[in-house]
Amino acid sequence: MNITFERVSKYFDRAKTLQDVDFQIEDGEFFTLLGPSGCGKTTLLRTIAGFYKQEEGNIYFGDRLMNGVPAHRRNIGMVFQNYAIFPHMSVFDNVAYGLKARRVNKAETERRVMEALELVELAHLRGRSPSEMSGGQQQRIALARAVVIRPALLLMDEPLSNLDAKLRIKMRSDIRALQQELGITTIYVTHDQEEALAVSDRIAVMHGGVVQQIGSPQDIYMYPENRIVANFIGTSNFLEAEVSGYDAATGGALLRLPPDQAFRLTLAKAYEGKALLSIRPENVNISGELTRDGQFRGQVQQGSFLGGKVHYTVHIGNGRMIEVERHLTERHELFKAHQGVYLDFQLERAILYDAKGEEVLGHGSTRA
């Protein structure tokens, strides 16, 4: 079942918590709402569930307008951060709960609960009390309880936040596998960008109640449409730049990076003036000696050894810092704090934004 938002806005005490949310989630999609705390993702999820009413706009499940339909008539399965399972009931009874409420008969209940417990690999623990079980197992019970009612839509709000790092990684791939097996449209809320990139078909990045960008994990990471997204998904270096000499016939322009570097690039639209060049830390090369004219000279402020890779913060003058991340190969020498280094930007991977970082002007560039 696809879900459509048409200019949905929601206010709390006149503050606009959701602003003109307008997009569609496809049938069977694993769709993630991603953003920092307070960006409105839980509010949007609760509005979809029918716990909140939007003041403006429409929400459709398939062709059906859902405005005003109460939560219990929306046929939704939900999983929350705190599991919300009943500690005094057995695993089986927890999962059977929603079927009892729907007056499903005993034999059918038995069959469906066991099927759901098989899916989450807990069938052998059906008689246990959840209070004797680990956080990961409790979250599996919650998952089984959400899918046993065969909902048209599965909503999950930070379901893995209470689990330790290793279990989170295992559970997220289990959740993804389960979702694919059932083919159920799923909306997943998280503030964890790595989690979002790992599980989603598509992601909506939210900030300040506004959907900033929607795309596949690769799209969002490789082509963030504004500075907010570039900063929230991974990290980015931003360098002040100046665009001049725009040529309408070719779209070409000259980009200057102070103090003395110049590049050619092709712009997506006419533009001259101040701009921001964004480069990911993994797209900056670092070396101990000058290998080419025009490289940035800098001094290592800090180096962190991260196992398979190293992260450096390099001062390039006037208080400007560049984050650099290199995978460790046999050839990579480790640089120490205060060591002089040279930086080389992989400009074909850079993105140029306008001065405010609100709009993409062009992707990649070559040296002038």
Q: Which segment (39-47, 140-148, 234-242, 253-261) binds ligand ATP by CB under 6 A?
A: 39-47
Which of 30, 80 has the CB closer to ligand ATP? 80
Closer residue to ligand ATP (CB): 41 or 227: 41
CB closer to ligand ATP out of 32 and 94: 32
**Of the candidates 28, 38, 136, 208, which one interacts with ligand ATP according to CB under 6 A?**
38
Question: With 0-12 CB in 10 A as exposed, 13-18 as middle and 19+ as buried, what is 8?
Answer: buried
Choose the stretch contacting ligand ATP; rule: CB under 6 A; options: 37-45, 97-105, 259-267, 288-296.
37-45
Tell me how far apart the alpha carbons of residues 290 and 314 are, in angstroms, rounded to a whole number. 15
Least CB distance from residue 15 to ligand ATP, whole Å?
7
Among 41, 145, 202, 280, binds ligand ATP (CB under 6 A): 41
Question: Would you give the binding string for ligand ATP spanning residues 205-224, x where CB under 6 A is met?
Answer: --------------------
Total chain residues near ligand ATP (CB under 6 A) = 11
d(CA 242, CA 355): 9
Q: At its nearest, how many Å lie between ligand ATP and the CB of residue 24?
A: 21
30-38, 294-302, 313-321, 329-337 -> range binding ligand ATP (CB under 6 A): 30-38
Q: Which residue's CB comes closest to ligand ATP?
A: 42
Q: Which two tokens stand for residue 283?
A: 């797209």
Residues 6+ apart with CB under 8 A from 15: none
Tell which one of 37, 218, 318, 329 touches ligand ATP (CB under 6 A).
37
Determine the straight-line distance between the first and last CA of the chain, rounded to whole angstroms.
Answer: 51
Helix ranges (H only) for the chain are 41-49, 91-101, 106-119, 135-148, 165-182, 193-199, 217-222, 227-232
Query: Contact, 349 vs 325, CB < 8 A?
Result: no
Specify the residue for token string 């964890």.
192
Q: How far apart are CA 155 and CA 30, in angstroms?
A: 10
Binding site for ligand ATP (CB under 6 A): 12, 17, 35, 37-43, 191
